[in-house]
Chain A
Amino acid sequence: MTIETAAALLSTWATETSQPEPERLDAVVPREKLLAAVQTLVDARWGYLAAITGLDLGVEAGLFEVLYHFCSEAAVTTLRVPVPRDDAWVPSVYAIIPSVSFYERELMEMFGINAAGTPNTDRLFLPDDWPAGVYPLRKDFQMEDAGADHAS
């Protein structure tokens, strides 16, 4: 499937689309529309969800971005979901793509962005004694916040 097909499929849900590289489509999707957008791609069998990337745009910008990368052969479509830092959640896509569990668990523990409704919220990568509310891939993370055991 091509990125043109993806652009057509996502036109209802995306507020903005761009083509940063020849085989890439970026579509900004508000989080309220995320599930509908994912369902549309899955129903059309447009590729597979290859990864979820969390991005911290910084305390000043007050925003995270959650990127859902779908790959279909050479083409990559990325759904970009802006998420306010002070209200950090996205809807879980587990009901549509059950294999997303690992990606959502990683996003939650590394960025503190809650995947609302995902069934398994256990830690996947961080230690059991890692302090609550400390998210290492946030830009304002300080090693000292992790406590003496992890800071060395």
Chain B
Amino acid sequence: MPAKGEKFIIPIGPQHPALKEPGHFEFSVDGEMVTSASLRLGYVHRGIEKGTEGRNWVQALYLLERICGICSHVHATAYCLGVERLAGVEAPPRAQAIRSLVGELERIHSHLLWLGVAAHEAGFDMLFMHSWRDREVVMNLLEGFTGNRVNYSANVLGGVKCDIDARQTDAIVKGLEYLEDRTHHYLEVVTSDIMFLRRTRGIGVMTKDVAEKLGVVGPTARASGVARDVRVNAPYAAYDRYPVKLITATAGDLEARFIVRVQELFETYRVIRAILADLPEGELTVRMPRRIKEGETISRVEAPRGELFYFIKSNGSDTAERVKVRTPTLPNMASVLTLAVGHQLADMPMILTGIDPCFSCNDRMIVVRDEAGQASAWTWDDLRQYGIETYR
């Protein structure tokens, strides 16, 4: 045991094969209490913003779509909408509807993936297995529709590449019936399972005021009662034709973040049905110029994790002058560092998972004793297990 007043720093990271992406945290603890937290990113920084500067507008699309393997479609959508606006071109209504359709299918797969990861971190592996099994339904629909499970490449500059026929429509409708039924079950589980609620209720509370101050986005913001959803605030693609209802909660704790994401799934199912029932006829693409007029634009879309922000500048050539990307995890991650303080070390896995970080934690977790230099190593699994046993 540490002597009184001695500070422990617990580095976590950067590698963990089970989670999506690496990052390195350092938590300072006083006994069980976290007193400060810091973060180091960049382990998967690939220089994509710089990469766009040496490639033409079409090549940059495929590069940007690979920023994220979970929400690749929103990146391509934000980029295409921005470049089309700069070029003074508008994709046809049918293409815009298909963009929204794929975007919502992607949201289902992302939210179900998150539900599984979060359940696993809480030690609820049956929920993890079930949600990932069910996620395969939407993965198959995406593959059948676009040809790919991830990086669907549904977008092209000026429209979309894939059309939808009656058979695919039927498959999606049928898949949604199954998923909606399962989602009712998930909602019941995350709001009634006593063991699970001990890990989520009243933990990681972020008030509306703090959420607004931190500038958090997406479900993390909405679970704290902040009415922030780009699909509602500034409809893009076809969301003006198929309006989305804003889902919020007021508790601001981890449970609220579960409820908001699961309830959002129902809204997503409804929007997909609305799109399929009223899909405009017509062309899939319009012609795009090779060189894009000089100018700047800002393109914002609602990724599964929140607002995705693109700033695009053209110098009139066939290559972008600057593409700036701000993904939703960056502002949300600031909330983790803030919320961590005052919580128990055992709550860290759930608080981190609560924002659905598009990136993650680690293989090694070393408990370093500040002065004496005595160190022992923990894995992320150890920390997870520690959290589970603390709440047993």
Contacts and interface: CB of A to CB of B under 8 A. Distances in A.
Interface of A: 20-21, 23-24, 45, 48-51, 53-55, 67, 69, 71, 73-74, 76, 78, 97, 99, 101-103, 120, 122-127, 136-137, 141
Interface in B330-360: 330-331, 333-335, 338
B41 A125 contact: yes
A124 B331 contact: no
Interface in B50-72: 50
Interface stretch (B27-35, B131-139, B251-259, B293-301): B293-301
A136 B334 contact: no
A74 B234 contact: yes
A49 B41 CA distance: 21
Contacts, number: 79
Q: Nearest 3 CB-CB pairs, A to B?
A: A74-B234, A125-B42, A48-B215
Nearest to A53: B324
B40 to A, nearest CB: 7
B214 A99 contact: yes
A51 B47 contact: no
Given A122-B40, A127-B42, A102 B330 contact: yes
B215 A50 contact: yes
A124 B49 contact: no
Contacts of A102: 39, 330-331, 333-334
A21 B47 CA distance: 29
Nearest to B332: A99
A49 B330 CA distance: 12
Given A67-B311, A101-B334, A136 B42 contact: no
Contacts of B215: 48-50, 97, 99
Nearest to B334: A99
21 contacts: A20-B297, A21-B298, A48-B212, A50-B307, A53-B322, A54-B324, A55-B322, A67-B311, A69-B309, A69-B311, A73-B234, A74-B234, A78-B298, A102-B39, A102-B334, A122-B40, A124-B39, A124-B41, A125-B45, A126-B45, A137-B49
Nearest to A54: B324
Interface in B296-322: 296-298, 300, 307, 309, 311, 313, 322
B148 interface: no
B287 interface: no
Interface residues of B, number: 34
Contacts of A49: 215
B311 A123 contact: no
B307 A71 contact: yes
A74 B45 CA distance: 30
B4 interface: no
A71 B300 contact: yes
B233 interface: yes
A136 B47 contact: yes
B326 interface: yes
Most chain B CB neighbours (cut-off 10 Å) among A54, A74, A127: A74
Contacts of A74: 233-234
Given A48-B212, A50-B307, A99-B213, A126 B296 contact: no
Contacts of B331: 50, 99, 102
Given A55-B313, A69-B311, 12 more contacts: A20-B295, A23-B234, A49-B215, A50-B331, A51-B326, A53-B322, A53-B324, A73-B233, A74-B233, A76-B298, A99-B213, A103-B330
B44 to A, nearest CB: 10
Contacts of B234: 23, 73-74
Contacts of B324: 51, 53-54
B38 interface: yes
Contacts of B333: 102
A136 to B, nearest CB: 6
